[in-house]
Amino acid sequence: MPPRTEDEPVQTPPYHDDADSEREDESDDEGAEARMLRTLDGSGPEVEAAPGAALSHQREEEELLKPPEKPKPIAWRDLPQKQQLLVITLTRLSEPLVQTSLQSYMFYQLKWFDPTLPDSVISSQAGILHASFTAAQFITAMIWGRLADSKRFGRKTVLMIGLLGTCLSCVGFGFSQSFAQALFFRCIGGATNGNVGVLRTMISEIVREKKFQARAFILLPMTFNIGVIIGPILGGILSDPAGSYPGLFGDVEFFKKYPYATPNLLSAVFLSCAALSVWLCLD
């Protein structure tokens, strides 16, 4: 070690006090706690996040801000149980087809029953015939609803009874020779037909998914409107063929004796086909 000169100052080691060290440690701890609190409440400087975490956070925000996607419209081809729905639509088509078919020739048929009656009486009779079907249907609707819910009968049996009863009513009405006979068969047709309520219930049971139910329930009014269009056309074309087409059917004795049987027979054939489809195809 080189000798120390006189002018060189004496170097003393730094003095450390234990109390000062403790105070410094406490201040460091307090500073760390303060920085942590500022970080938690957001008042302190932001901590730089990893690039992957920032990108993931950005994607989550974009997904939250993205508007919800509109549901895709349901197409007719997407409907489930198409065979069952087809049978139901054929069954529903029968009633408006029969009811509106009568409107085009009922006045002339009543006039054919008794040509001596004035038009005012015939108009009253026509109103009674129209109302008789609906009135009888109203009286027996609750009964058919209970039978449709019972295990002994069920919906399928009630539908077949309604179709066959209306078929019998059409045939009887076409071959009627008086107002009383026509009224009787109209009441029979209404009393045995409680199919409207049963068909609506069956659609809700066949199509259980709510997204398809709107399309499925539209089938009933749509089919009804089709029957309302077709019925009067068929009734007007087929009624009294001997008088309407004398060159073709003027010499046919059957058409002379029963001039209004043809449209009713056609309606009966359609009702029979609907009843057969219910029996064979409806679950």
CATH of region 81-114+122-281, choose from 1.20.1250.20, 1.10.3720.10, 2.60.40.1930, 3.30.450.40: 1.20.1250.20
Q: How far is CA 251 from CA 237, 247, 254, 256, 266, in A?
A: 18, 8, 9, 8, 21
**pLDDT for 183 beyond 80:** yes
CA 240 vs CA 103, 264, 266: distances in Å: 14, 12, 14
- Res 40: pLDDT: 46
User: In the structure encoding, which two tokens stand for residue 37, read together?
Assistant: 């609190």
Q: pLDDT, tens digit, for every residue of 24-46?
A: 555 555 555 555 545 544 444 44
Say how far apart CA 181 and CA 189 lie, in whole Å.
13
- Alpha-helical regions (H) of the chain: 18-41, 51-65, 82-103, 106-113, 119-149, 154-174, 179-191, 195-206, 210-238, 241-244, 246-249, 253-257, 261-281
With CA atoms as reference, report the closest residue to 246 among 234, 233, 260, 256: 256
Alpha-carbon distance of 265 to 239, in angstroms, equals 11
Q: How large is the average pLDDT for residues 223-228?
A: 92
89-131 pLDDT, tens digit per residue, is 999 998 888 889 998 999 999 999 999 999 999 999 999 999 9
Amino acid at 135: A
Residues in the chain: 283
Specify the range with the lowest mean pLDDT, choosing from 76-85, 160-169, 266-275.
76-85
Q: What is the pLDDT of residue 209?
A: 84
pTM assigned to the model: 0.72
Per-residue model confidence as pLDDT tens digits over 45-61: 444 445 555 666 666 66
Give 234-245 pLDDT, tens digit per residue. Answer: 999 999 999 999
Residue ranges per structural domain of the chain: 81-114+122-281
Residue 244 to residue 153: CA distance in whole angstroms: 45
Structure tokens given for 276: 């057969």
* 270 touches 97 (CB < 8 A): yes
Backbone angles phi, psi at 137, to 5 degrees: -65, -40
